[in-house]
Amino acid sequence: MSRGLGQILFALVTILVFAEASHAQQAAVQSGDFVIHNFKFKSGQTMPELKLHYATMGRPAHDAQGRVNNAVMILHSTGDSGRQFLVPRYAGALFGPGQLLDANRYYIILPDSIGAGGSSKPSDGLHMQFPNYNFDDMVASEYQLATEGLGVNHLRLLIGTSMGCMMSWVWGEAYPDFMDALMPMACLPVEIVGRNRIYRLMQMDAIRSDPDWKGGEYAVEPAAGIRMFIYLRLLAAGMPPLQMQKQFPTAEATDKYFESFVNGYVENYYKTYLTPLDANNELYQVDASRNYDPSTRLGSIEAQVMFINSADDFIDPPELGIAEREIKKVKNGRFVLLPITDQTHGHTSHTWPELWKQYLDELLKASAR
C-alpha cells in the first residue's frame, strides 16, 4: 500500500461518485431491475415481488448451439453492491479494451444480492418482517435473474468476493453445469465457526444492543450500534497488520489517524458509501451466512476452480489450513495463497485485481473450450 489506509478509505468514498461516469467512456454500463413473482425462500416464507437490481456491460454472444459463451457474473461482498466492481482500480484493471475481461468481448453481469444495493431489502419497508433469506435464496434468485431476466443459459466465468466468494461455492454446487470457471476469493468453503462466527455475532449484537434500534423499528439509524458495527468491519476486513504498522509506526501517528477516521469517515460512512448503511439491512446480510456449509458437496462442482485467499486475511487466516484441505475435494480445483507484501490489503485484497489477475488469466485459459 503506497498511501495510508485512512487516505485510501477517503479516496474510495470520493471516487465512487464519479466511477460509473468515467468508466462509461470505456464501456457502457446498463442498469435494470428484474422482478421475481412469488419467490419462495428456504425458510418457507414467500415474497409477492422480489426485486433484483443489476448492472451489465457488453452484450451476450452465442455459440452454434445457442449457448451464451461470454457471460461473466461477479458477486459482491457483504453490504456492498455490484457497483463495487465499477471503481477505477477494479474496472480499470479488468474491463478495458484488451484486458482480461474486456467488456467489448464479455458480457459482464453485476447483480445486487437480496438485501443489498437496489434489490429488495428490509429498509424498503418490511424492516425485521422481511423474509429470513440465506445464501441459497440469494443464489437461486441470481440464477433466475441470469436465465429468465437476462436470457443467459451459461456462464463463462463466475467470480465471488468475500460474501460473494461463499455464494460462488453454493453456485458451483447448485448449478454445476452452468459455468465453465469459478473464482472464489476471500472466504473458506466450510461452516462458519470460531473467530469468524464470533466476529459476525459481535457485529449483530452491536446493533441489537443499541436502545435506539428498537427491535428494528427505528426512526433514525442507531448511531452507537452502527459505529461499532463499522469499527468491527474495518478492523477485520480493512486493516492488514503489516500495512498498519508501516503506515502508523508511532503512537502519535496512530492516534491522529484514528481521530481523523472517527471525525470524518465514520460520520459519513452510511451517507456516501456504495450503499447507504442501514442497521436492519446489515443484520440480514451478516445473518445470511448462518447455515452456510458447502464442504460436503464440493466434489459435485464441475467447473474449473481457481480459489484465492490472502495470507494477511484476518477473517480467513491461512494458519487454519482449511483451504488447502478442502480444495482437494474439488475435481478441477487449485488454491492460491497470496503472500503478504507491501501491496496486499488483507481481506480486501480481492478488490485489487493487480494482485491476482495473472491467476484469472490462467483460469480463463485452462477453462477455454
Output the DSSP codes for 291-350. T---GGGGGG--SEEEEEEETT-SSS-GGG-HHHHHGGGSTTEEEEEEPP-SS--GGGGG
**183 and 94, same structural domain?**
yes
Average pLDDT over residues 346-367: 97
Q: Is residue 244 one of the residues assigned to a domain? A: no
Q: Is residue 258 one of the residues assigned to a domain? A: yes
Whole-model pTM: value is 0.90
- Does 349 have pLDDT greater than 90? yes
Q: What digits encode the pLDDT tens for the residues 211-263?
A: 999 999 999 999 899 889 988 888 887 788 888 898 899 999 999 888 877 77
- Which residue range(s) make up the domain with 69? 5-193+289-366
- Domain total of the chain: 2
Q: What is the DSSP string of 248-267?
A: --SHHHHHHHHHHIIIIIIH
The CATH number of the domain where 261 resides is what? 1.10.1740.110
Q: What digits encode the pLDDT tens for the residues 155-179?
A: 999 999 999 999 999 999 999 999 9
Q: Is residue 243 one of the residues assigned to a domain? A: no
Q: How far apart are CA 269 and CA 359, in angstroms?
A: 33
Stretch among 41-45, 269-273, 307-311 having the lowest mean pLDDT: 269-273
Looking at residue 367, its pLDDT comes to 98
**182 and 201, same structural domain?**
no
**103 and 153, same structural domain?**
yes
Label residue 274 by pLDDT band (50, 70, 90): very low
**217 and 147, same structural domain?**
no
**51 and 154, same structural domain?**
yes
**295 and 181, same structural domain?**
yes
Q: Is residue 187 one of the residues assigned to a domain? A: yes
